[in-house]
Structure 1
Amino acid sequence: MKARLEKYGPNKLTARKKKSILQLFLAQLQDWLIYVLFAAVVITVFMGEYIDAIIILAVIILNAVLGVVQEVKAGNAIEALQKIAAPKALVRREGVVKEVDSETVVPGDVLILDAGRYIAADLRLLESANLQIEESALTGESVPSPKDATITLKAPNTPLGDRDNAAFMSTLVTAGRGSGVVVGTGMQTEVGKIATIIDTEEEIKTPLEIRLNKLGKSLGKFAIGICVLIFVVALLQGRDLAEMFLISVSLAVASIPEGLAAIVAIVLSIGVTNMSKRNAIIRRLPAVETLGSVNIICSDKTGTLTQNKMTVLRYFNSEGEVAVEREKENPSTDDAALLAKAMVLCSDATYENGEGTGDPTEIALLILGDDLGIDRQALGRQSKRIDEFSFDSDRKLMSTLNEENGRYTVYTKGAIDNLLQLTTHVHIKGQVVPISEQHKQQVQEATARMSGQALRTLGVAYKPVDTVIGADEMEQDLILLGLVGMMDPPRMEVKDSVRKAKEAGIKTIMITGDHKITAFAIGYELGIADHLDQAITGQEIDRLSETEFSEKVNDYRIFARVSPEHKVRIVRALKAQGNVVSMTGDGVNDAPSLNAADIGVAMGITGTDVAKNASDMILTDDNFATIVSAIEQGRNIYNNIRKAVLFLLSCNLGEVVAMFITLMIGWEAPLIATQLLWINLLTDSMPAVALGMDPGDPDVMKEKPRSPNESFFTGIAGWRVLGGGILIGTLTIFAFWFGYYEHGYTPFDDVVPVATLENARTLAFMTLVACQLFYALAMRHPTKSIFQLGVFSNRYLIGAIVLGLALQLVVVAVPLMRKAFNLTMLDTPGWLMVLTLGLVPLLVNELGKIYLRARKKQQSS
């Protein structure tokens, strides 16, 4: 045993060495926007603007800390696997059975299995007696899998769910007993393969992270270019080099929206808080924005699309086939009541106050009794079980002998084909008559119909006896009562969510370990698939090459009988076709695909710790509908971030245009370094954050998903930035000229009084800020007017504008501040000019929106 332990290693899951906190922190700084911000810190320190430098540095550190916290949380999937895969094991060694730590189990050991015990390694079964194992975490099946050690599998790549002669690490024995030889330990087990997939999956940046990185590169190059160009122009024009260096550096800093990183973090954090109130917990902040790009939702079936609760939907007896309505009054005849009574008494399960114990199938039969008006408590008091003939996989039947008021009755349930061979009579409307071939044909047809609807069928019979009889006599000369059809039914609200997602351009795909027919039946009912050709199994996937599968993957809506490796392959193939994929799941088998997807969504109630730790988002209500709601919120959050980005760039471009053009034509600089930095501080903070908190657009789900490659400037967005920036810059230049004109001078004059220059700069300073603040209102929506949105619907933005204007007045009105910024008090024409010019960008945008709405209406008519 020691030799084998040295050869194969301890029976535990391993993970690659974790990065230290310092390494994680430094990794958060590897971003172009961060590099640009560091440059801004150095420049502002050089200029003596220490407060600005501290603020920018605080933004950088805050973002890095948030990133580290999120990454630490996201790195726990392997640890969760290690926890669930470390039970005690009952081992037979040298003829002696003893309990050992699971880590010491080695290939070749024989493990003893009994009910309630977790399996410590992968096994080939040697013995099985009514052995059933809960494998939903690996296979996705909602009921325990029966095992049979005598079976020999012929197909080399048999799906996990069909390996009836094997048992797997971390699964739970729910009934029976058995033994098996260990064939895989540690990372060589099926759970170990999942751990390997999780551990080797590369982390992919979200679309938002990619866009911000590109934007950071572009802004950095632009800032350096502006700085160099203005300094060269100043050199050629013979200006004061020290002053011009300060101005050019200030303008370079002003062209960089250093508040952008903080604004994005704030908007995402607010979005995360709001989403948590609506049952969606986000584990990685950038994942919020990625939701807005999702165009495919890959969903696990059991517990996500379905209720994860076996339920009897139909029963068949002498009166025909009858649908069972849950939580409604069902008409119950004597024959139906007898059928339900037989099912209740031939059961080992319990069900009280909405909680059940035992086999899910038997729990469903108890609930059927409740639905048909059976008083199970009274029945339990009146009936006493005398004996039973337990279920086994050969007979596929279970029988009990019950005493009721001094009379004895046998009740038998099980596979209908086996039951028909043992029945000699049939119960019809209170009468017992000999069973005929016609009766058998009717039962078989009902069974076929239910099976065609993916229902699991179960027959029931009975017979009265005079005395206590042995087990070998119970299943003879039975009287057939009928059969029931059951399944794990779909969630009621999912169908509407699938339809809503479809209208929003989002395709729903089911990926499950369940059988193809069962999966298709659920998919068809929910509107996921229209015909069986849209379903494919894991074995069929294996017959396709990577290229063939990638080309055909978009044709399928249902993937059935798949392994964890298949799930990852499906997600990667969908992503290779340019899709942004959300994957939902709850089991250990879902963890690799959750990790591989753009957005991994785990179930909060039924989900394993492994699934939760591998995910980007957790649903606290396990509801598929919450995913669609989260996508809607994700789209609105992205739109808000985009508004903030476009607003900041428009404002910064306005500053660059005003400074660059005036300097190029030989005028004095309309703004000095301190004024530029003040404007940047004012407009890069409050209005931009307020735009990021804009109420969601109710029409956002009428749009198609965004392409992950779409830039911030797609469509008219780029023109809005360019047009807005040029307009704001031009108005600032005009205000600067008007400041000279008021005093009888022009900017081209060689000799101008200091008071005139200060008046011109004050006008330019006030106009630029007013334009930017009012322009924020226009940025709330690309086509809807501020009146359609509601002028005061974003109270944060109104507050930011009012506060911004108030701070400007303080700077001009307070003598000390006025002197610090080299400003002067404006006269009445000056104030009117500021107000008029400040409203122009907003009015121009509103007129442009009227034109865009009219053109859209004309195109749609």
Structure 2
Amino acid sequence: MTAITHFNIKGLTEVQVLEARRNHGGNSLDYKKESGFFAALKSIAKEPMVLLLLATSSIYFISGKTGDGIFMASAILLVVAISLYQNSRSRNALEKLKDLTQPVCKVIRSGDIQEVTSEELVLGDSLMIEEGTAIAADGTIVHSNDFSVDESILTGESLSVYKDKDSDKNEVYRGTTVAGGLAIITITAIGNKTRLGEIGKSLEDIQEEKTPLERQINSFVKKMVIAGVLVFSIVWAINYFQSYSFTSSLIEALTLAMSILPEEIPVAFTTFMALGAWRLMKLGIVVKQMKTVETLGSATKICTDKTGTLTENKMTLAKVFTLVDSKITETAAIASDTEKELVRLSMWASEPIPFDPMEIALHQVYKTTNITDERPDFKLVHEYPLDGKPPMMTHIFEDTSGNRIIAAKGAPEAMLEVSDLTEVQQKQIENALESLTGEGFRVLGVGEADFKGKDYPKRQQDFKFSFKGIIAFYDPPKKNITQVLEDFYSAGIQVKIITGDNATTTGAIAKQVGFKGFEKSISGEALMQLSDAEIQKIVTDTNVFTRMFPEAKLKIIEALKTNKEIVAMIGDGVNDGPALKAAHIGVAMGTKGTEIAKQAASLILKEDDLSKLVDAVAMGRRIYANLKKAIQYIISIHIPIILTVFLPLALGWIYPNIFSPIHIIFLELIMGPTCSIIYENEPIEANSMLEKPRAFTSTFFNMKELATSIIQGVVIAVGSLFVYQYAVWQGYNEALTRTMVFTLLIVANIVLTLVNRSFYYSVLTTLKYKNKLVPLIIAITIGITVVLLFVKPVTDFFQFERPDFLQILMSCAAGFLSVIWYEAVKWRKRLRE
């Protein structure tokens, strides 16, 4: 059997593999790329906040305030260190994801089939490539069955090219994909020496398009930068014409510019997306594209194949129906010659090297039911690939004596069309099909033809077939699939089945697993007869789509997208590729999925477990909600800083410049970790998977949420300015006034962090959330504040004054009250719902 399977190809020995790797290297594409560290450093150097810090530090040094200059320079180093750390975490997460998405290849080495990663391939390896796989190296075909390749990545040609070892087109290239059949190739080029490797530099330079959310956030930050420049100019002018001091007025203007810049927002976005992908990876979900993370939580429709997603994809030949005997027999009870002949013909209609679960099952049953194994004696001389709507396939074998076998299998409807049958026979077949499909079996018709001569018909449908019978496979539903469907329904997500199987079989399996809408279905052919407007209506109220082919699947996805749905498409086959690519979220199966499906998808479920997609949707909702909380927090806490710096100056209060750049940057350093670290680590809220997905049209900053953040910020500013005026009324000096206002902002920052952990549940509920970073960050913040207020050298440097107990109490109470009021809003919201 080894000789049959490998066509007497032994491949390289382990010694030869090691020697080839030593002489020619591994199969990886290596280009000179800028170090991630230096690229990150360049990016940070362009950040407006860093440029402002550099300018301020320089002014301090020039004006002789060396201490302040050193502090600002230290702040620059700290900001850069934090940014590099965040960048490093993001980069490391993405590198791990790249490793996981590396394709696995089958090679023949020392006469055995082995699975290795694409990078482990060496020159001279015997590589097996089959339908749905991406070709990992250049090579020459040494054996093939019905083999065709999609070379559009290199040539731009959309049509697949048929190839075999005897034609002048006997070479295959890295990056192309197998459209049909199977081949064994000898690798002739690897890594940068492949044709793709030689043109790969241009592929490396392609920039990834920014996502809608990324564009929204960048647009918001740019607007804030423009506002910062305008306010900077106004404040500088006011200060200058009051003091006529160029440097001091410039420093005060820079103070306000710093307070306006929300530089934490883009950092938070990048961190949340990358770490979200890393968290998904730990759950067994590989994210290939960052944009998937932000889209996951908003999925409204999930389109899934039946085989391998709802079912185990463990095909067993369960029953056979022979037309001659006109009876259905279980596989274990196969005894008659006609039943054995049906299994034999089914095997001959399959690939000589089977890779499809059904064909593997047929080869196994053939071995157990037929005493003599004829496979070594017959050679495949002609084949017709799987085609037609519904599809069928035909193989022609001959032995050395000229004995010929022409066997075909396919959808029963396809086999019925090409067979001459009496009305009685047709009725018998229809009854058998109704019985088998009603039990959820997947059925194939089997036929045989007789043909003399070598001038084979152009189309397999032109043979005159004799219908022999039906073979029925059982693919059991996955054990957890009913719970998975219930989880999707609870989350407000509608599920649709898109399958190549027939309506009765699909309906039976759908009913078994508790699928909503199993009673109503439409076929691919019927769907393609409809107008686009009609399809848009059909996809709204129909949940089962049968006898689907690539064009029909694509039509469904496009229609759902036109209906403003966020679509996730789950698939594992070659014909799922276009739909996976077109969907907002393409999901491929990691174990049984073809390489074409994995390439087209943006998400890969490593263990083929659909429950992981529920986890992915939950994670998507969690990431989106936490990012929103972080950005709302940033907006809220920036407003009081801006107003506390600007209003005393604009209104000519007694202490017009209450804060200097060192105070602002210190507040920034406290706020940065709060939003990026605490909120990223927040658990999912209890009601997240019971809410409907967010609407397609909603923007990240909708007016209601933005208004909430602005009002929160304004109330904190009112508290801050109240304490300012209270201190002035009490006759406190500038240092003590500054201390009280600064303390209030720190307290407000801590309370806001806790209150905004949920915009629905109370702070008493969220305190029970498991997030070890919350007490840690708050303890560090309080510790630093204590040092600032009570360690004299530090207090003097920051131009503070040690407050007494009542002054601290006043600041803390005002800070607490300026935030805690929002709990009443949340209470009313819960009461209404």
Q: Which category of TM-score, normalised to the shorter sequence, fits these structures? A: 0.5 to 0.7
SS in 1 for 2:286: strand
Aligned partners of 2:766, 2:667: CA distance in 1, in Å?
27
Structure 1 segment 189-338 matched on structure 2, within 5 A: 205-234=210-239, 242-312=247-317
Amino acid of the structure 2 residue aligned with 1:820: F
- Cα deviations across residues 176-196 of structure 1 (Å, max 9, x unaligned)? xxxxxxxxxxxxxxxxxxx9x
1:784 equivalent in alignment to 2:794: no
Amino acid of the structure 2 residue aligned with 1:496: Q
Q: Select 1:736's aligned residue among 724, 739, 745.
A: 724
- Cα deviations across residues 783-803 of structure 1 (Å, max 9, x unaligned)? 101222334632211211111
Aligned partners of 1:801, 1:245: CA distance in 2, in Å?
34
SS in 2 for 1:698: coil
Q: How has the CA–CA distance of structure 1 residues 387 and 535 changed in structure 2, closer, same or farther, with 3 Å as cutoff? A: closer
Q: Which residue of 2 aligns with 1:157?
A: none
Q: Which residue of 2 aligns with 1:672?
A: 660
1:171 equivalent in alignment to 2:181: yes
TM-score, with normalisation over the residues of structure 1? 0.65
Asked if the contact 2:44–2:50 (Cα under 8 Å) also holds between the matched residues in 1, the reply is: no
Aligned partners of 2:341, 2:31: CA distance in 1, in Å?
56
Structure 1 segment 432-831 matched on structure 2, within 5 A: 445-451=431-437, 455-456=442-443, 485-514=472-501, 522=509, 530=517, 534-537=521-524, 540-541=527-528, 543=529, 553-560=539-546, 564=550, 567-568=553-554, 570-667=556-653, 668=655, 669-686=657-674, 688-714=676-702, 716-742=704-730, 744=731, 756-791=733-768, 793-831=770-808
Q: Which stretch shifts more, 662-671 or 439-448? A: 439-448
Asked if the contact 1:650–1:725 (Cα under 8 Å) also holds between the matched residues in 2, the reply is: yes
Q: How far apart are residue 459 of structure 1 and its match?
A: 9.9
Aligned partners of 2:312, 2:784: CA distance in 1, in Å?
57
SS in 2 for 1:692: coil
Q: Which stretch shifts more, 665-674 or 256-265? A: 256-265
Aligned partners of 2:507, 2:620: CA distance in 1, in Å?
30
Asked if the contact 2:285–2:605 (Cα under 8 Å) also holds between the matched residues in 1, the reply is: yes
SS in 2 for 1:172: strand
Alignment identity in percent?
24
Q: How far apart are residue 604 of structure 1 and its match?
A: 1.4
Aligned partners of 2:645, 2:271: CA distance in 1, in Å?
31
- Cα deviations across residues 297-348 of structure 1 (Å, max 9, x unaligned)? 2334432333223235667899998999xxxxxxx9xxx5868997699669
Q: How many residue pairs end up in the alignment?
A: 677
Q: How has the CA–CA distance of structure 1 residues 770 and 338 changed in structure 2, closer, same or farther, with 3 Å as cutoff? A: same
Aligned partners of 1:839, 1:109: CA distance in 2, in Å?
71
Aligned partners of 2:564, 2:55: CA distance in 1, in Å?
41
Q: How far apart are residue 675 of structure 1 and its match?
A: 0.9
SS in 1 for 2:303: strand
1:51 equivalent in alignment to 2:74: yes
Aligned partners of 1:601, 1:414: CA distance in 2, in Å?
30
Asked if the contact 1:549–1:573 (Cα under 8 Å) also holds between the matched residues in 2, the reply is: yes
Amino acid of the structure 2 residue aligned with 1:836: A
Aligned partners of 1:240, 1:108: CA distance in 2, in Å?
75
Q: Which stretch shifts more, 51-60 or 835-844? A: 51-60
Asked if the contact 2:228–2:257 (Cα under 8 Å) also holds between the matched residues in 1, the reply is: yes
- Cα deviations across residues 558-613 of structure 1 (Å, max 9, x unaligned)? 55555556555544443343222223333444444434433232221123344334
Asked if the contact 2:443–2:472 (Cα under 8 Å) also holds between the matched residues in 1, the reply is: yes
Structure 1 vs Structure 2 CA RMSD: 5.6
SS in 1 for 2:659: coil
Asked if the contact 2:626–2:680 (Cα under 8 Å) also holds between the matched residues in 1, the reply is: yes
Q: How has the CA–CA distance of structure 1 residues 698 and 342 changed in structure 2, closer, same or farther, with 3 Å as cutoff? A: farther
- Cα deviations across residues 441-461 of structure 1 (Å, max 9, x unaligned)? 77862333324656316899x
SS in 2 for 1:697: coil
Task: Between the two structures, name the one with larger relative contact order (CA 8 Å, sep ≥ 6).
Answer: 1
SS in 2 for 1:297: strand
Amino acid of the structure 2 residue aligned with 1:586: D
- Cα deviations across residues 538-559 of structure 1 (Å, max 9, x unaligned)? 6843x55667656765455455
Asked if the contact 2:637–2:749 (Cα under 8 Å) also holds between the matched residues in 1, the reply is: yes
Q: Which residue of 1 aligns with 2:832?
A: 855
Asked if the contact 2:517–2:544 (Cα under 8 Å) also holds between the matched residues in 1, the reply is: no
Amino acid of the structure 1 residue aligned with 2:517: D
Q: How far apart are residue 240 of structure 1 and its match?
A: 5.4
Asked if the contact 2:221–2:263 (Cα under 8 Å) also holds between the matched residues in 1, the reply is: no
Q: How far apart are residue 496 of structure 1 and its match?
A: 2.9
Asked if the contact 2:762–2:826 (Cα under 8 Å) also holds between the matched residues in 1, the reply is: yes
Q: How has the CA–CA distance of structure 1 residues 608 and 85 changed in structure 2, closer, same or farther, with 3 Å as cutoff? A: farther
Amino acid of the structure 2 residue aligned with 1:835: C
- Cα deviations across residues 206-229 of structure 1 (Å, max 9, x unaligned)? 343233223222322332233234
Asked if the contact 2:591–2:606 (Cα under 8 Å) also holds between the matched residues in 1, the reply is: yes
Q: Which stretch shifts more, 771-780 or 77-86? A: 77-86
SS in 2 for 1:508: strand
Asked if the contact 2:160–2:179 (Cα under 8 Å) also holds between the matched residues in 1, the reply is: no
- Cα deviations across residues 800-841 of structure 1 (Å, max 9, x unaligned)? 111101101111222221121111111121121122123213
Q: Which residue of 1 aligns with 2:813?
A: 836
Could you tell me which runs of 5 or more consecutive residues in structure 2 were left unpaired when the two chains were aligned.
Answer: 1-28, 60-68, 104-117, 120-132, 146-153, 185-199, 348-352, 385-391, 397-406, 417-422, 448-467
Asked if the contact 1:289–1:634 (Cα under 8 Å) also holds between the matched residues in 2, the reply is: yes
Amino acid of the structure 1 residue aligned with 2:749: Q
Q: How far apart are residue 780 of structure 1 and its match?
A: 0.5
Asked if the contact 2:56–2:661 (Cα under 8 Å) also holds between the matched residues in 1, the reply is: no
Aligned partners of 1:206, 1:625: CA distance in 2, in Å?
27
Amino acid of the structure 1 residue aligned with 2:664: L
Asked if the contact 1:91–1:112 (Cα under 8 Å) also holds between the matched residues in 2, the reply is: yes
Q: How far apart are residue 630 of structure 1 and its match?
A: 0.5
SS in 2 for 1:302: coil
Asked if the contact 2:754–2:763 (Cα under 8 Å) also holds between the matched residues in 1, the reply is: yes
Aligned partners of 1:833, 1:694: CA distance in 2, in Å?
31
Q: Which stretch shifts more, 713-722 or 276-285? A: 713-722
Q: How far apart are residue 769 of structure 1 and its match?
A: 0.9
